[in-house]
Structure 1
């Protein structure tokens, strides 16, 4: 089989397509022929050597956490799935249910566990899940990280009610999933982007308020205006330090800011006294459990939600796909197909 591999000195030019022996499943394991993988910002950091576990692993890694594939063989004792089932790979292979802990969060694909960027891959039967039949392979591959992150933020941690306001930063994978889930749940949404074209597209998907942050860098103002001065009930914070100040200004008293990314950079520090003054919650969020994933899939099936795949590349053109991500060309997700 062929597999993607990347090693020091890291970077896009260090990504190689290598030959490797075909793997076979052991007890409790399944062999999956990969059909598609989707890109996350974490993957870009990882191949650049900027992701802590990848950069310090001391050897080559197989990237990508999010994949869709078909089960080709099963090991002894496998009962969760069977031959021919179409499955998604779970981002955290050992986070099945309950709250996170060190062991669960140490089982992420790509690093430290070899990822889904290969033609054939062996996973624990506990680390895969069956998926809605009506979705394409490309769409399924977008669910394990971006989809689940948005789902957990809104419904596992956010405890939002219909009519409440969610702010979504940008039009990448997590934010577009957040828009789709929020719209289906009857939440009000405000989405930001540097592109009027992308904002117009978000409007067709149900976004209630649109803000071009290049034209209006102080976007907390429009959030306050849209909420009658109260502020947003929840903000899905993907920018990190580069956008945190505006998020803190935009959140309501007792509101919830879910930090899921740092795509706008580390930025500068912020004054924690502001959070004390308005009793807002600031929570880091890293994907979710398999139980959360399966609850999300039930909702996707019920509402017939179609994940947005914007660009598709052959998996061997992975460098071009990452270049598209770096250029911010996408709306929703970028996918590699096998």
Structure 2
């Protein structure tokens, strides 16, 4: 089969190769993969920001495909079913534990950038008929993360949600929040991007280059209340402002560190506002299943910025690195 291996932590070392088609063990299935969506996690791995690369690996945490072979002991799935695998194979439901971090798809074990993949049957979630392969490939990390933010933030009609950027997680959170009846404020450095997300339902957009004290603008737009949920996707560069923009009893849901991984933040407002600062590590298979069910029920369509061919994988990674996207960047394996 055709595959891409990451042989060293640079984008230039995403190399095409021919590998044997994998065989399923007990409880596993083989899926023929159709599309892969890229996440910051994939970029971090390919640029040396996610620890040491122990060996050549097929990257791509998220993919969508169809089952083409069943291993022994698999009875709940059938050949031809359309599925997405969860990123953490062994985290099926409930709270996360250390053992769940050992099998990370596309990070510690082979992922999506190959014609075929072997995956545990109990990590799979069915794809709604309403979604294409490209759309379905965006679900495992981005949709699950956004859904968990909405749930942990207790978003309901009248809530205000603040999104720091226009990437895939933010746009899933935008659509989930609007389906829940919430108000959404979104930040970007680009007025063009803000116009695009307003067309998708965002209520307010703030250009943080034009208004560097954007936290004051958030409070102004909310009559001093602040945001009930802040999706903190940047890290050190914005965290103190996120605290300032948050309402009393708000949740700051931490999902990224593109702006720095070491925090220096004021403790007093965290205490005074009784803020809930919640870390995120994507989610379990049950979380993915709930996220997909919400997408199907609310007729949400994943937002895809650009689709690259399999042969353009390096270009896709570099495009994600440029931060020019609004929504998800996808690699179609059969274009």
Q: Does the 8 Å contact 2:155/2:177 carry over to 1?
A: no
Structure 2 stretches of 5 or more lacking a match?
Answer: none
Asked if structure 2 preserves the Cα contact closer than 8 Å seen for 1:69 and 1:86, the reply is: yes
- Aligned equivalent of 1:317, options 312, 330, 333: 312
2:254 counterpart residue number: 259
Any conservation in 2 of the 1:240–1:264 contact (CA below 8 Å)? yes
Aligned with 1:168: secondary structure?
A: strand
CA distance in 1, matches of 2:101, 2:215: 33
Task: Map 1:284-295 to 2 at 5 A.
Answer: 284-295=279-290
Correspondence for 1:22: 21
Residue 271 of structure 1 corresponds to 266
1:7 matched residue in structure 2 = 7
Find the counterpart in structure 1 of residue 218 from structure 2.
223
Alignment match, 1:239: 234
1:76 aligned partner: 72
The 2-side partners of 1:232 and 1:164 are apart by 8
Provide the C-alpha distance between the structure 1 equivalents of 2:262 and 2:209, rounded to a whole number of angstroms.
17
Match of 1:99 in 2: 95
8 Å contact 1:314–1:337 — kept in the other structure? Answer: yes
- SS of the equivalent of 2:213 reads coil
Match of 2:37 in 1: 38
Q: Kindly indicate whether the alpha-carbon contact (under 8 Å) linking 2:235 and 2:263 is maintained by their aligned counterparts in 1.
A: no
Provide the residue aligned with 2:208 in structure 1: 213
Secondary structure of the residue aligned to 1:242 is coil
Q: What's the counterpart of residue 149 of structure 2?
A: 153
* In the alignment, structure 1 residue 191 sits paired with structure 2 residue 186: yes
Matched with 1:47 is: 46
Is the Cα–Cα contact under 8 Å of residues 80 and 126 in structure 1 kept in the other structure?
no
Shift of 1:274: 2.3
Residue in structure 2 matched with residue 120 of structure 1 by the alignment: 116
Structure 2 SS opposite 1:240: coil
Shift, 1:268, TM fit: 5.3
Q: TM-score, normalised on structure 1? A: 0.96
Q: In the comparison of the two structures, how many residue pairs are matched?
A: 333
Deviation at 1:267, TM superposition (A): 6.2
Residues 288-335 of structure 1: CA deviation (Å, up to 9, x unaligned) = 111111112111111111000110001221110011111112110000
TM-score with structure 2 length normalisation?
0.97
